Amino acid sequence: MSFVIKGDTGDWEIVCGLEVHAQVISRAKLFSGASTAFGAEPNSQVSPVDAGMPGMLPVINAFCIEQAVRTGLGLRAEINRFSVFERKNYFYPDLPNGYQISQYQHPLVGRGELLIDLPDGRTKAIGITRLHLEMDAGKSLHDQLPDRTLIDLNRSGVALMEIVSEPDIRSPEEAVAYMRKLRSILRYLGTCDGNMEEGSLRCDANVSVRRVGSREFGTRCEIKNVNSMRFVAKAIEYEARRQVEILEAGGVIEQETRLFDSGRGVTRSMRSKEEAHDYRYFPDPDLLPLELEEAFVARIRESLPELPDEKKERFIREFGLTPYDAGVLVAERATADYFEEVAAGRDAKQAANWVITELFGALNRAGKGIEECPIRPHQLGRLIDLLNEKVLSGRLAKDVFAIMFETGEDPERIVEERGLRQVTDTSAIEPIVEKVIADNPGQVETYRKNPKVIGWFVGQVMKATRGKANPQMVQELLKKRLEG
Amino acid sequence: MSELTALTLTAAREALRRREISARELTEAHLRAMEAARDLNAYITETPERALAMADAADARLARGESGLLEGLPLAIKDLFCTEGILTTAGSHILEGFVPPYESTVTRRLWEAGAVCLGKANLDEFAMGSANVTSYYGPVRNPWTRPGEEVPLVPGGSSGGSAAAVAARLCLGATGTDTGGSIRQPASFCGVVGMKPTYGRCSRFGIVAFASSLDQAGPLTRTVADCALLLQAMAGYDPQDSTSAAREVPDWSGGLSGEVRGLRIGVPAEYRVEGMPEEIERLWRQGAEWLRAAGAEIREISLPHTRYALPAYYIIAPAEASSNLARYDGMRFGLRVEGADLTETYMKTRGRGFGAEVKRRVLIGTYALSAGYYDAYYLKAQKVRRRIAEDFTAAFREVDAILTPTAPSAAFRLGEKSDDPVAMYLNDVFTVPASLAGLPGISVPAGLSAEGLPLGLQVIGRAWDEATVLRVGRALEEAAAFTALPYGLAEVAG
């Protein structure tokens, strides 16, 4: 996938790396026992540690470490069995200690990689530079009072994984594919819920441009606050075009931090390199270096679920699905599980078609996720069985599916109660065939010249039986009668 | 001085257990003494009502025959320990009105052992100082004066209020904290026993942080036996402090003796610093002589990196302090001085809330951690710190404990050295190396200067070997037979 920005002086290429902050799924915070539940009353989930009270000390939550290691393993990354928590010092009212506890020189997770699917069916590896754990800050509420800012510390101390990619991304679409894949892996692992609206997955993008064919990196800008999949693409493209415009006009790019304004779809300067903070990182003397036992890592490795890449491969191998279909089905673990339940003991391709075309279509139209799907997998499987047992025609099956989606009822019951069973009894169909032929002598004439008109006759018979007649049988009977 | 306040912690404990005295009368005697000695300014906050309530509860338990390790014994708490429901100031204006909703682990242990809280002892602001002159609540006076003189002397610092209170019989014992000598140096200046245990022995949870990698709580008492008893109650693993050690606390108090036969005691050549008064060196030799006479073997040892300890300490401690003190921003507790905007509020709050010495150290520490200076200062200082620790490790292959002077001088006049921070920092020259290495050290009063002021000797031990430190300390105590009292007290002593 080559994405090129056409400039007046030539073609430009985007170079982009993403820094993702993923909130760790954990009941308690990274360094205190306070709850992490979303949406609680402001300042109701704050321990004295989270509020930076005098004399309070952080204690590492082992479960958060486990989650980060699990994520690292899911990203096929090196796990550093020695890592160090450091203090990142800066003043802000929503940062109670005046420093954020983060990891700097010795992160928990080192190099890894993530495969993204390209539209042409190929995959591309995006390098992962590192993953480290850090605590979240609180939230400044600027819109509650006219002349004051209020602080909500519920989020203060919540564990975040900062996942940094290599500058391997070359287009806005690749960035989106990276984010989707990362979210998919995090959700498979159960280490982050990936909810961008609630802020549990946040993205900053480092963007630069260079002439196509150049191997040098241009000066990059960091774009903050890119907080939906849609904005990821928009922000990167806008920023790249802005940089090309400046460079083509003979200007230079200033290294700076910019903010994405989602309302106007533009990026704005936030602070220049000169205004950049000196964070004065140093190892947090309240926490000893973190040393992990090999057995700890091994135990987590053994408990890893099948991840999307492996699952996709298996779907292709075992079920003979196309890479595209397999990719669509494995994006969400729940979807993949749903599909596998439908496909069990059935024709997998047929099951995939039903899930992808009918079920996803219906869910999309209803604006529902797979978790809220009214049709249980075994019900969909039974529907496919009814179709294959010729109890239902393809058309009837779609009607029954629509009713199932509406009511959640079993297909057998719908078929029985509404009399939607396909009619396969020739004695019931023959009189109707006779009648249609008798009523339409003109069309019979036409058939002699153009046998394709049989389709029209089939339609008439189906209409007369309200779709319940077996279409193949109707076709055969008509053919026999018209030919004869 | 009443008979009750003249008791040692150990003697009072026995008397309480035998029901010869009550916790209430013991507490009342101390409250009266505190009231009479307010000119020392040893306490920032007195808690008489709480003290009496705790004493009564202790008496009730004693009557039932239940008694904790420190049942009914009145103590002073350095005002760096957070105490639930009691104003906690750290000697700073910036903690104006701060009443913690939680209790430090060390004080919680003391109350659980039955001790009685007399009040919060004065200290240098955020424990930064060696003379207890930087407190927002005013300087502490040393109960000792030169004979025939009324000139106020400093008690040393930063646990100056604790040391003064113990010396002036305003409590039976006190908690202190030691970052670079803040227990041992004031103990030496006030003629009492003070001990910094191994780093990690006592929990730091709930102690207002100065320099987290160095801060350690410890006792100040009038005897080595009292010191062992109080430390016994303070020490122990705390899951709320990741740097506290999951180790058993030995029974220091039970088997304490001054038996040093066969022990090898090191005397480090590098501690003979230039300009050290002759009387300090003489006392040091005397101390070695006492131990030799008691059956110990004295060995000359070398701690070659000693001279770099003080400069390294004055990088590391301020660096950590600059970060630890960032939380005092006027947003959530303590002082807030409103400004036109956020930056001005920060500047005014911290400008007025912190005193000069705290500001100096925050500036030094911020500088030492800044981009471009980090390697030259902070990282270098950490390397020095490792070398110093290695010096001790090597020395402890040869010896079982190390004997040094505690401080390079006796107590000095209030106001002296206050305009010369470096002269002030030199007070810690003998105490800082053990702090950097995280080792236990005790100061035991060993004699009087020519001016009639107490001088201490320091014993440094291996990590986790407080037992040997206490044993050697006890031997020095026995040999020195230090019975001198501050002059105000001598007159009424019975």
Specify whether the CB–CB gap between A105 and A86 falls below 8 A: yes
Q: What are the pLDDT digits (tens) for A192-246? A: 999 998 899 999 999 999 999 999 999 999 999 898 999 999 999 999 999 999 9
pLDDT score of A451: 86
Residue in chain A closest to B320 (alpha carbons) equals A285
> A41 — contact with chain B (CB < 8 Å)?
no
Task: Classify the complex by whether its ipTM is higher than 0.85, answering yes or no.
Answer: yes
Interface test with B, best of A286, A287, A288, A291 (most B CBs within 10 A): A286
A-contacting residues of B 59-118, CB under 8 Å?
81-82, 88, 90, 95, 98, 100-102, 104
> What backbone torsions phi and psi does residue B36 show, to the nearest 5 degrees?
-75, -20
Closest residue to A87, CB basis, from B240, B323, B333:
B323
Q: What is the separation, in whole angstroms, between the first and last Cα of chain A?
A: 59
Chain A positions in Cβ-Cβ contact with residue B102 (cut-off 8 Å): 48, 53, 55-56
User: Is B252 within the bounds of a domain?
Assistant: yes
Q: Which amino acid is at A102?
A: S
Residue in chain A closest to B239 (alpha carbons) equals A59
The C-alpha atoms of residue B464 and residue A86 are separated, in whole angstroms, by 27
Q: Which amino acid is at B340?
A: A
Can you read off the two tokens belonging to residue B130?
Answer: 């060696």
Chain B positions in Cβ-Cβ contact with residue A280 (cut-off 8 Å): 322-323, 366, 369-371, 374
The C-alpha atoms of residue B476 and residue A161 are separated, in whole angstroms, by 55
| Dihedral angle sign, alpha carbons of residues A425, A426, A428, A433 | positive
User: Is B34 within the bounds of a domain?
Assistant: yes
- Asked if B378's CB is within 8 angstroms of A53's CB, the reply is no
Total domains present in chain B:
1
- Residue A92 CA: distances (Å) to CA of A50, A95, A350, B345: 14, 5, 57, 12
Q: Which residues of chain A have pLDDT under 50?
A: 1
Report the relative pairing of strands B116-121 and B216-221 from DSSP bridges.
Answer: unpaired
The C-alpha atoms of residue B130 and residue B122 are separated, in whole angstroms, by 13
The distance of A361 to chain B (nearest Cα, Å) reads 52
> A54 — contact with chain B (CB < 8 Å)?
yes
CATH number at residue B200: 3.90.1300.10
| Active site annotation includes B182 | yes
The single residue of B104, B130, B162, B182 carrying the catalytic annotation is: B182
> A288 — contact with chain B (CB < 8 Å)?
yes
The distance of B424 to chain A (nearest Cα, Å) reads 26
The pTM for the full model equals 0.91
Nearest to A156, CA basis, from A208, A199, A105, A95: A95
- Asked if A58's CB is within 8 angstroms of B82's CB, the reply is no
> B245 — contact with chain A (CB < 8 Å)?
no
B-contacting residues of A 76-95, CB under 8 Å?
87, 89, 91, 93
| Active site annotation includes B158 | yes
Q: What is the separation, in whole angstroms, between the first and last Cα of chain B?
A: 8
Give me the total of CB pairs closer than 8 Å, taking one residue from chain A and one from chain B: 98
- Asked if A55's CB is within 8 angstroms of B243's CB, the reply is no
pLDDT score of B1: 61
- Residue B104 CA: distances (Å) to CA of A46, B82, B243: 19, 5, 15
Interface test with A, best of B103, B107, B242 (most A CBs within 10 A): B242
The distance of A81 to chain B (nearest Cα, Å) reads 18
Closest residue to B370, CB basis, from A278, A285, A287:
A278
Closest residue to B205, CB basis, from A57, A98, A281:
A57
- Asked if B331's CB is within 8 angstroms of A151's CB, the reply is yes
Closest residue to B242, CB basis, from A51, A278, A288:
A288
The C-alpha atoms of residue B195 and residue B459 are separated, in whole angstroms, by 9
| Active site annotation includes B323 | no
The single residue of B22, B158, B253, B322 carrying the catalytic annotation is: B158
The distance of B207 to chain A (nearest Cα, Å) reads 5
- Asked if B346's CB is within 8 angstroms of A91's CB, the reply is yes
Residue in chain B closest to A281 (alpha carbons) equals B369
User: Is B16 within the bounds of a domain?
Assistant: yes
Range of the domain at B48: 3-263+399-490
CATH class label, A426-483: mainly alpha
Domain ranges of chain A: 5-300, 304-418, 426-483
> What backbone torsions phi and psi does residue B482 show, to the nearest 5 degrees?
-75, 105
User: Is B248 within the bounds of a domain?
Assistant: yes
Chain A positions in Cβ-Cβ contact with residue B366 (cut-off 8 Å): 280
The distance of B404 to chain A (nearest Cα, Å) reads 28
Chain A positions in Cβ-Cβ contact with residue B320 (cut-off 8 Å): 282, 285
Chain A positions in Cβ-Cβ contact with residue B239 (cut-off 8 Å): 59
Q: Mean pLDDT for each consecutive 10-residue tract of chain B (494 residues)?
A: 90 97 98 97 98 98 95 98 98 98 98 98 97 97 92 96 98 98 98 98 98 98 98 98 96 93 97 90 97 98 97 97 98 96 96 98 97 95 98 98 96 88 87 98 97 97 98 98 82 44
> B275 — contact with chain A (CB < 8 Å)?
no
Residue in chain A closest to B327 (alpha carbons) equals A97
